[in-house]
Amino acid sequence: MVVTIIYDNEVYKNGLQSDWGFSAVLDIENTPRILFDTGTDSDILLSNMEKLNIDPTSIDEVFISHFHHDHTGGLTGFLKINNDITLYIPSSYPKPPGVKEVVTVKEPIQIHENVFSTGELDRIEQALAVKTDKGIIIIVGCSHPEMQHILDAASRFGPIYGIIGGVHGFREFELFDNLKIICTTHCTQYKREIKDLYPEVYIDGGVGRVISI
């Protein structure tokens, strides 16, 4: 599994553009290519994709974590280039027009052999759980639901190995004690504290960061 961050508040690789929001491309073995969230601005999203040699038409599926502009703002512009996708949205997100297939998610579902949605948690947000040979990797947008709810929902698919994405105001840091990968991005308020507590497993995010698992 390879996670490429293409939209974030910080830049990891020179020449790319940061902005408030989050998006990542997920390359998972024997699985269609997934775009997780779309950031705030489609011009920035598509520019970063081009500079990272990611062809928008290579995306097969788009997974939207929640209906906030900093995670959905780039979708309209993306769809002008590639609307031949399957779009997974939480039930609180109105269906956008012009998409080949829209799957509305409320309860936990299996999307592919090793890819799952936690379902819409706390009536606001879904997370993606990917099963690897090391355990479950959770991809989150902002973690508006309680972190315990996210971890519990993802753990039904297997033991949790790591988490990547925004964790907002989360500060129950002990919940991360057993994780082997922690990459907090975007809206994370206590990024420095988390990095200091878990230096051996912490990975800096930012646009252009590529995480291979």
Encode pLDDT of 49-86 as tens digits: 999 999 999 999 999 999 999 999 999 999 999 999 99
Per the structure, the complete domain to which residue 173 belongs is given by 2-212
Relative to beta strand 210-212, strand 2-7 is antiparallel
Burial class (CB in 10 A: 0-12, 13-18, 19+), 87: buried
Encode pLDDT of 122-179 as tens digits: 999 999 999 999 999 999 999 999 999 999 999 999 999 999 999 999 999 999 999 9
Number of domains composing the chain: 1
Q: Read off the CATH number of the domain in which 85 is found.
A: 3.60.15.10
